[in-house]
């Protein structure tokens, strides 16, 4: 019994000493990717391109919508005078025009989203590369992105690396 107790105590001490030697110090930093992104001039260029392309799509949509509205108004005015076959053909034409208008709106929206992603990706890649460099140069174990909203607490021991990342991205 005494031997078993001594063996268990020895194993516990050995286990405790191994875990204390195996522990490494964590160095945690945080960054706000959205804040960095908004402060870069490349973001302004991408936003200008997106604004121009959005206006073009909006203009085309407005023209298509105006055509549809005119067709609809013309149909409403002439409907009492039309025979059933012509009336049915005009209604089909209106439904087809409305369907194309809706499809255009959906396609334009998805194309603009994809275009925005294509414009932002190279900028984000540069930011992430700069974060990696800061982390490697300064020995960080973890870098948390506080702009994502999933970090609910940032300790005073967590280092804000925004200035270090911006220094890499905006050399003097």
pLDDT tens for residues 23-54?
A: 567 788 889 999 999 999 999 999 999 999 99
Q: What does the alpha-carbon distance between residue 69 and residue 98 come to, in Å, rounded to a whole number?
A: 10
Q: For residue 30, what are the β-bridge partners?
A: 144, 160
> CA dist 139 to 16, 26, 87, Å?
27, 9, 75
Is the per-residue pLDDT at 151 higher than 50? yes
pLDDT tens for residues 15-26?
A: 544 444 455 677
pTM over the 0.75 mark: no
Query: Is the Cβ–Cβ distance between 101 and 124 less than 8 Å?
Result: no
Is the per-residue pLDDT at 71 higher than 70? yes
Is the per-residue pLDDT at 148 higher than 90? no
> CA dist 84 to 11, 69, 109, Å?
95, 22, 37
| Of 136, 171, 132, the residue nearest 31 (C-alpha) | 132
* Confidence (pLDDT) at 171: 65
* Confidence (pLDDT) at 13: 46
Q: Which residue has better confidence, 35 or 1?
A: 35
């Amino acid at each position: 019994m005494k031997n078993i107790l001594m063996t268990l105590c020895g194993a516990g001490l050995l286990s405790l000493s191994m875990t204390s030697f195996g522990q490494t110090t964590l160095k945690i930093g945080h960054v706000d990717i959205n804040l960095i992104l908004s402060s870069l001039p490349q973001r302004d260029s991408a936003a200008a391109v997106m604004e121009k392309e959005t206006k073009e799509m909006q203009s085309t949509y407005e023209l298509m919508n105006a055509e549809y509205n005119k067709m609809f108004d013309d149909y409403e005015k002439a409907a009492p005078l039309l025979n059933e076959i012509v009336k049915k053909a005009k209604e089909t034409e209106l439904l087809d025009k409305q369907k194309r208008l809706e499809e255009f709106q959906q396609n334009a929206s998805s194309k603009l989203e994809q275009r925005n992603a294509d414009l932002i990706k190279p900028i984000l890649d540069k930011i992430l590369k700069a974060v990696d460099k800061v982390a490697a140069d300064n020995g960080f174990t973890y870098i948390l992105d506080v702009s994502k909203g999933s970090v609910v607490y940032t300790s005073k021991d967590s280092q804000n690396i925004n200035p270090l990342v911006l220094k890499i991205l905006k050399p003097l």
